[in-house]
Structure formats: C-alpha cells, structure tokens
Amino acid sequence: MRLVIQGVCFSYGGSDVLADVTFEASDGEIIGVIGPNGSGKTTLLKCINRALSPRIGTVLIDGRDYSELTRREIAGNIGVVPQNSVVSFPFTVLDIVMMGRTPSMERFERESEKDLEIVKKAMEVTNVVELADRTMDQISGGEKQRVVIARALAQKPKILLLDEPTLHLDVNHQLEILDLIRKLARSEKLTVIIVSHDLNLASRYCEKLILMNAGKIAASGEVTEVLTEKNIESVFKVRAAVSYDRHLGAYTVTPIECCR
C-alpha cells in the first residue's frame, strides 16, 4: 500500500498548523514523525486518516485521492491507535477488539464467523487472547495498548497510524509494544507511521524519520540524515551528542544542555 502526502496544509482558526507537508510511505515501512510539542505531528496523523480535512493538498492511497473514498473504505485501509484511548464503560477485551469490525458491518448487522476469525487472529498476534473476558479496567497499561492495537488490526488495515504508542508505559512495555509493531510491519506488510517524542526509540525502530518544526518538515530521510546534532540543536534548542550504539545497532541521542 503506497501512501502519498502531497502539499498538505491545515489551519486552526486562521493559524497555520501544517504547511506544505509532502512525503510518501510504502509497504512494510516504519516511518517515525518526531518534533517538539506543537509542531503538528498529531494534526498530520488526523489529516491522513481524514479526521481533519486539509485546507490545501491531498492524501493518496494507492493513487486514489482519499477524499473520494467512503468512510468505510478509509477504515478498511487505515487503522489508528490514538494517543489516549478512553473506555468509559466496562467493555471486555473481546468487545473492544470486535469494535474494529464495526466499519465493515451494516447497521444492526451481527458479526459473522469471518469477523470472529479476524478478531481472533488480531488478538493472537497481539497476545491478548487470554485477556478476552476481562474488562479494560482490569488490565495493565501495556495490556491496554496491545488491545487497542488489536482493535486497529481487526479493521484489516493496510496502513497503521500510531500516536505516541508508548506514552505512559514503563520501559519493558515500551519495548514490547514497539517490537510488536515492527513484527507486524514485516509480517503483514503494513505501512506504519509512528508519532514519538522519544528520539532514541524512534531511531531504533523506524527506517525513516520526519522531523517536524512549526508545522513544516525540517528534515526527512534515513535516521542518519535526520538525527544530526545540527538538526537537534536547530529544532529542539538542545545541544546533544549523537552516537552509534553497536549493542543496539542504532543511533542514540544524549542531551547535553539547552541552548536557547
């Protein structure tokens, strides 16, 4: 699934939040979107999944303008894992994952054997089968995040958008979630876009990075092209040391001091 973002601009109340954002992503590719608070990262994801409509520019999914797609077609192509998933009622894990099938069903239609099979597979790959009968308030933060990912996978998407998927998780759950996402990108040929504040995790798990600043792309490309000491100082206003960790097989960023 080829995703192309062309010249996307978006404004809130007359103030530009995104300006001329252009990039593309392909099957099995994990792209990290990084940048300071307020740089437009989450707004970009919302424009991609049509929760927001760009003022200018377009999003193409396999060459089709997504404005021409129905909501059902978009849900069948794009799965979303939001930054905060609030569940107000004591739904079971199975109920939550089954919600991922709703866009594919007619109003008042009951789930079919095919729907159940898809949900079962989504729960298996995210390792939440044993949690099926437990309610969301009875499981841990890391388990909840795996359930939300399972719900997105139950849509059978070709593109997976994740907004800070490791936010508020402890270290072992952060690695667990990102290992899972990388595995899914490879096995399911998913196009994955991850918004992250953690530069080191983004470096470790993403093939390419997009560095946002004030609604624009400040740098994009391979990790070594984007995570430079010059870029970090320019965008984050922090002097940092960037070095290669041979044990991780990835570049790491060590902040040194503010340089405002």
Q: Is 203 within 8 Å of 226 (Cβ atoms)? A: no
**Choice between 175 and 259, residue whose per-residue pLDDT is larger:** 175
pLDDT tops 70 at residue 61: yes
107 has pLDDT over 70: no
3-258 maps to which CATH number?
3.40.50.300
pLDDT recorded at residue 112: 82
Sign of the C-alpha dihedral computed for residues 106, 107, 109 and 114 taken in this order = positive
pLDDT in tens, 188-214: 899 999 999 999 999 999 999 999 999
Task: Give the separation between CA 236 and CA 232, rounded to whole angstroms.
Answer: 5
Cα atoms found within 13 Å of the Cα of residue 66, Cβ hemisphere only: 30
Per the CB < 8 A criterion, the answer to whether 31 and 45 are in contact is no
pLDDT band at 71 (very low <50, low <70, confident <90, very high): confident
In the chain, domain spans = 3-258
Average pLDDT score over residue span 236-260:
92
Which 3 state secondary structure label does DSSP give 250? strand
| Span 109-150, pLDDT tens digits | 677 888 899 999 999 999 999 999 999 989 988 899 999 999
pLDDT value at position 12? 87
Say yes or no to pLDDT of 226 above 80.
yes
